[in-house]
Structure 1
């Protein structure tokens, strides 16, 4: 049965097209972007695509987490049962196999195999495309520290591995929708709709416990791998929640499949009542996850406060200032010598100094190497609800006011002009 389902899956034209796109598309796209003078600097790690080939793979990962992987789960898992309804082959299949359990297991495993093959294609293609275009070079992390080529490779592959968990959760929801809605297009679109809903929720000012309890959070929490120290707790929570959703949704899909009435030719699904029975348990899982996360982490509010923003900006500035000095071939120095600190305020100090928004303003101070002077730089911050921010330099021009710095070898990108950062939403003490 499993061999038959695998043959059926890989012989379908849409699956073959997806395999072609996943194994070739990201590499070609990353390679093409690397040849351009303008980079997608508003995309996480996009500003570093000319510096290392691993940045291109992370840009592809961000796009796939938003659109690619939800679309794949919709096309594969969302149609694996519904295709039998469209073709009217359920009765023939049941006569030949005579086991609901074997049919369900074969279809679920076959869809999982296809998804894994497509995911491996995305990883391999995007990584190879970036490495061919730029090379295996060091990567700058989200707090400005430098990762060696070997460290970058390991963390990039680990980040891709972590998004397998939310992909499995969406695939399980796809199985549930495929059984419950039959040939209805909504069954095919259900994983995509759920993914878009979770992405929209992540943009809202939700409490931290609710944000982490959504399975889609693992699509963005891999960011914590690229800070020093690593922000692993949100990532582990996101992966664990996703796996719980995957197991629960798969069990619900199996129970609904056992209740299907295959003797009635006009019944091509488990009905609206079955869908309701599938939604209520998942809502219960969400409520339980929120309670467990809140109790286990003690997290409350937005998770973004003045102290966290100031510490993150100062740390990133210190790392990137050292990088800028190295680019300009000046005497080496360390972050300890700089003693960088930041004073940040939201809405010019009016109101609560916490939460997301594009009205954060930071003044960074540091000790000028080789003198007793103290330097200062201004940054405007756009902090998103999930903790990621973009710091835009606002002077002085010789430090962060221009996107290029002059060196003996010519103009090079100024790492202090704009940089990305990540605030850990969970308590750090």
Structure 2
């Protein structure tokens, strides 16, 4: 029933029914939701922390005598300012971004349930669809502001404390400052895709679980589960079917040639997850009965409208990725590892030669090769583990005898490895070399590498 407004005595304007029931535009609702979010003290504190803390952390760590060498690119924080933002990205993908999406997207709908303000909001906006769009866009805006702050702060902190110098890639080759800058920005851009997926999961949890605290924790719990999955010996196709894979596949940007297929697959899967989870949240929200003030979503509804469709999505993406990239094993094989170690050693050997002022050599002259074994079982030729051992062989111009060096490797399930020099000491032992940025450890002593999990040839 539509009520007709009658003007009181002395009133010159009559409010028509059409004007009284016209919904508020999405733009006005969006501005209102953004103001409401940024007016919260915890959101302001998060924005301030994201724009300041990473830069201070990078600047402080870069000036320490010991570096986080167990973190990807951590060992190069003394050498270039572009290593710092990559260290921040590695930490953010594991911990910071899941928690940030939980606080913002995981609470944007549940807050109305706790405060009991849905009826007031509906009276003001008069459109559940526009309310959903405004809240989703507002949470996305705040999350993007936080991500940009993390990236910008890390970059500024690194450049101001160390400088704009070349970066050593994951295969030992040097990236010019301009190339390093482009790859760092691409890596942070790629990390937006899984962040959007977690944000969409947060929206779904906030809508389906109502005032329950589980909705707030859902993105963080999903991210933790995906991290644990990446640590298990799962098939490559199943790893790439999870949106969290894009948080680590950016490593492939820092090899030559770049390992782009895993990154593109990870980004595509993350975007699909973001679309599907947002659509599920939207369908659940517009079908809600807002006339019941005590309404709260049940666990059964959360399972049927959230968990089951996402489980089906995992199965579907796994089937598609498995069909497109027939890699059902671990992806870590002996031939791949040998090629990666030999390539990184050749690049770093040339760097060491320049630092020690020795005659320059080319990689063609070095003819580096590697022979790797896993544990005591000579038949073991694949899989992660800290029991890989590689013997590297190279040749110098005018020298008949070939040089050899031994490395102990710790290879993780995602293809990253750390090679630790095990002799001879004058080649890959620990000693300091003089660089333009100051004394630094021997580049052949320890180095990071990355094995592309997807097969690149019939033999790989």
**Partner residue of 1:14 out of 37, 42, 45:** 42
1:97 maps onto 2:153 in alignment: no
The residue number in structure 2 matching 1:41 is 69
- Cα 1:407/1:12, change in 2 over 3 Å: closer
Q: Which moved more, 1:211-220 or 1:262-271?
A: 262-271
SS of equivalent to 2:427: coil
Q: Name 1:295's counterpart in structure 2.
A: 323
Partner of 2:401: 373
1:190 aligns with 2:215: no
The answer to whether the 8 A contact 1:339-1:367 is kept is: yes
Distance 1:406 1:7 in 2: 53
Measure, in 2, the Cα distance between the counterparts of 1:66 and 1:52.
23
- CA–CA separation in structure 1 for the residues paired with 2:434 and 2:190: 40
Residue 278 of structure 1 pairs with residue 306 of structure 2:
yes
The residue matched to 2:376 in structure 1 has which SS?
Answer: helix
300-309 or 365-374, which deviates more: 365-374
Q: Does 1:210 align with 2:210?
A: no
Match of 2:353 in 1: 325
Distance verdict in 2 for CA 1:409–1:114, change over 3 Å: closer
- 1:277-304 CA deviation, whole Å, 9 max, x = no partner? 2111111111011111011011121001
Please name the residue that 1:352 is paired with.
380
Contact 1:180 / 1:272 at 8 angstroms: preserved in 2? no
**Contact 2:79-2:437 at 8 Å conserved across structures:** no
Q: CA deviation at 1:412?
A: 3.2
- Equivalent residue for 2:169, pick from 123, 141, 146: 141
Kindly provide the CA deviation profile for residues 382-413 of structure 1, in whole angstroms up to 9, marking residues without a partner as x: 00001000000000000102142479998532
1:348 is paired with a residue of what secondary structure? coil
CA distance in 1, matches of 2:334, 2:293: 62
2:153 aligns with 125
Correspondence for 1:414: 442
1-side partners of 2:379 and 2:288: how far apart?
Answer: 56
Q: Unaligned 5+ residue runs, structure 1? A: none
Change (3 A) 1:193 1:274: closer
What secondary structure is seen at the aligned counterpart in 2 of 1:8?
helix
Maintained 8 Å contact 2:193/2:270? yes
TM-score by length of 1: 0.98
Would you say the 8 A contact 1:329–1:407 is kept in 2? no
Structure 1 pair 390–237 and aligned structure 2 pair: CA distance change class (3 A): same
Distance of 1:259 and 1:161 partners within structure 2: 34
Separation in 1 of the partners of 2:413 and 2:261? 18
User: Contact 2:78/2:437 (CA < 8 Å) preserved in 1?
Assistant: no
Partner-residue secondary structure (3-state), 1:363:
strand
- Alpha-carbon shift at residue 352 of structure 1 (Å): 2.5
Q: Does 1:110 align with 2:138?
A: yes
CA distance in 2, matches of 1:327, 1:198: 42
Cα 1:125–1:339 shift into 2, 3 Å: same
Q: Distance in 2 between matches of 1:407 and 1:56?
A: 19
SS of residue in 2 equivalent to 1:40: coil
* Coordinate RMSD, CA, aligned: 1.4
Per the TM alignment, residue 329 of structure 1 is displaced from its structure 2 partner at its CA by: 1.3
Distance 1:397 1:92 in 2: 73
1:203-258 Cα distance to aligned partner (Å, 9 max, x none): 00000100111000000000000001100000000000000000000000001101
- CA separation in 1, counterparts of 2:119 and 2:300? 22
Q: Distance in 1 between matches of 2:436 and 2:264?
A: 45
Which residue of the other structure, out of 191, 201, 224, is the alignment partner of 2:229?
Answer: 201
Q: Residue in 2 aligned with 1:82?
A: 110
2:332 maps to which of 297, 301, 304: 304
Q: Which residue is equivalent to 1:178? A: 206
Structure 2 stretches of 5 or more lacking a match? 1-28
Distance 1:408 1:269, change over 3 A: closer
Equivalenced residues, count: 429
Task: Indicate if the aligned counterparts of 1:181 and 1:275 stay in contact, CA closer than 8 A.
Answer: no
Structure 1: distance between partners of 2:274 and 2:369: 43
Deviations 1:57-114 (A, max 9, x none): 0000000000010011000000000010111100100111110110000000000000
**C-alpha contact 2:430 2:441 (8 A) present in aligned 1:** no
- Quote how far apart the aligned CAs of 1:353 are: 1.0
User: Does the CA-based 8 Å contact 1:381-1:392 persist in structure 2?
Assistant: yes
Q: Secondary structure at the match of 1:399?
A: helix
Aligned to 2:362: 334
Name the TM-score, length of structure 2 as normaliser. 0.91
Which whole-Å deviations, capped at 9, do the CAs of 1:307-337 have from their partners, x for residues lacking one? 0000000000000000000111112211111
